[in-house]
Structure 1
């Protein structure tokens, strides 16, 4: 496992995008570590440089809120069992094949707190597919199958106090009371963060975004 600063990470992403066959790059880390922001910035940078890159976040495979409620999982939304992991891995398999057609993926809408199907199109010309999510390195099926479909997975590390403050602020921004935001941050979200941190050693690289 190596450490990458932003410049080195960009250089490596360019290498993956220009090697002549489709590459798949995963970005993982705990909730509020900055995965989504970093992936979106990297995507914009690479596309602006003329590279053919797409971003397909794992969050599109959240189970619907109605399904979570019927399963009794609404209070632990964000835990591994609250995702359609098999569907996500199947998507990675289709993207890996690059079989000539556009592949459509869902996206997660934080305002709705639900996923919207067939929102992200990945054309066959795309040379690098970015994906980001919490459990890309989890050592259980079907996540391990998904890991084998990715060329590399990078782990974004961030000081816990900074990450928790960001997460609590996010919960409040999307409508939770201060008490609810704190309970969620230090409850189920913290359990998930500890699980994700245990997978760090399996990453190909750790990103230092400081």
Structure 2
């Protein structure tokens, strides 16, 4: 883990995070909770656990990954081999959605968000329904704390951002298993996990000091 020295990392359990998220879910008052961290930090897993524990009346999950640029676009831009880097997302679209969700109030129409399909390696538009009556939106992604392009605009509409900080060895193991699970050979998995993913991780971990809390789960 390469988080800056002097930054306080809290040990916490998933149950403790669930209770902290529950405190944000106040009916009639829209809040947004962000989870960030390097690739393999467990963002998706923890976000899903929080939303499942709170239930659909209190929380909905809207991942940042729905804003991956399409593969054809990445090929045109010459960025296909860097998919997952900060400039391979529609950061402006994500920021506009987060602003819309933060302003959504009871009685407003449902907002629909995109979802990323790992099977297709593409985003699917209007795949996640966000009813106005749901008080807490949980969003997760790599670049919630990045201070460039449109990422700070999104951050301005997020009430709290938690940075997940497992040990580097744990992250690498998760990434290798993830890439292999989606059809990559061990060699291809290592190429992505220790190449592009790791370069992204170094950038992401440099943003940890801007989080509201930095958490290490058992």
Category of TM-score, reference length = shorter chain:
over 0.9
Please tell me whether the aligned partners of residues 33 and 163 of structure 1 are also in contact (alpha carbons under 8 angstroms).
Answer: yes
User: 1:149, 1:126 → 2: CA distance?
Assistant: 17
Tell me what 1:173 maps to: 181
- Scaled by the length of structure 1, the TM-score of the pair is 0.95
> In the TM superposition, what whole-angstrom CA distance separates every residue of 1:20-40 from its partner, at most 9, and x where no partner exists?
411100000111110001100
Please tell me whether the aligned partners of residues 9 and 207 of structure 1 are also in contact (alpha carbons under 8 angstroms).
Answer: no
Please tell me whether the aligned partners of residues 28 and 133 of structure 2 are also in contact (alpha carbons under 8 angstroms).
Answer: no
**Which 10-residue stretch deviates more, 184-193 or 78-87?**
184-193
Q: Please, which of 10, 25, 29 is the counterpart of residue 3 of structure 1? A: 10
Tell me what 1:67 maps to: 73
Q: Please, which of 69, 80, 100 is the counterpart of residue 94 of structure 1? A: 100
For residues 180-199 of structure 1, what are the structure 2 equivalents within 5 Å? 180-199=188-207
Please tell me whether the aligned partners of residues 17 and 50 of structure 2 are also in contact (alpha carbons under 8 angstroms).
Answer: no
**Which 10-residue stretch deviates more, 15-24 or 52-61?**
15-24
* C-alpha RMSD over aligned residues: 1.5
> In the TM superposition, what whole-angstrom CA distance separates every residue of 1:171-193 from its partner, at most 9, and x where no partner exists?
11111121111111111110000
Matched, 1:151 2:159: yes
Tell me what 1:124 maps to: 132
Structure 1, unaligned stretches of length 5 or more? Answer: none
Please tell me whether the aligned partners of residues 27 and 133 of structure 2 are also in contact (alpha carbons under 8 angstroms).
Answer: no
For residues 15-94 of structure 1, what are the structure 2 equivalents within 5 Å? 15-18=23-26, 20-47=28-55, 51-94=57-100
Moved over 3 A (4+): none
Please tell me whether the aligned partners of residues 27 and 58 of structure 2 are also in contact (alpha carbons under 8 angstroms).
Answer: no
- What SS is found at the alignment partner of 2:193? helix
- What SS is found at the alignment partner of 2:139? strand
User: 1:51, 1:74 → 2: CA distance?
Assistant: 38
**Which 10-residue stretch deviates more, 180-189 or 57-66?**
180-189
Q: Please, which of 124, 137, 145 is the counterpart of residue 137 of structure 1? A: 145
Structure 2, unaligned stretches of length 5 or more? Answer: 1-7
Instruction: Measure how far apart 1:52 and its partner are.
Output: 1.7
User: 1:112, 1:41 → 2: CA distance?
Assistant: 24
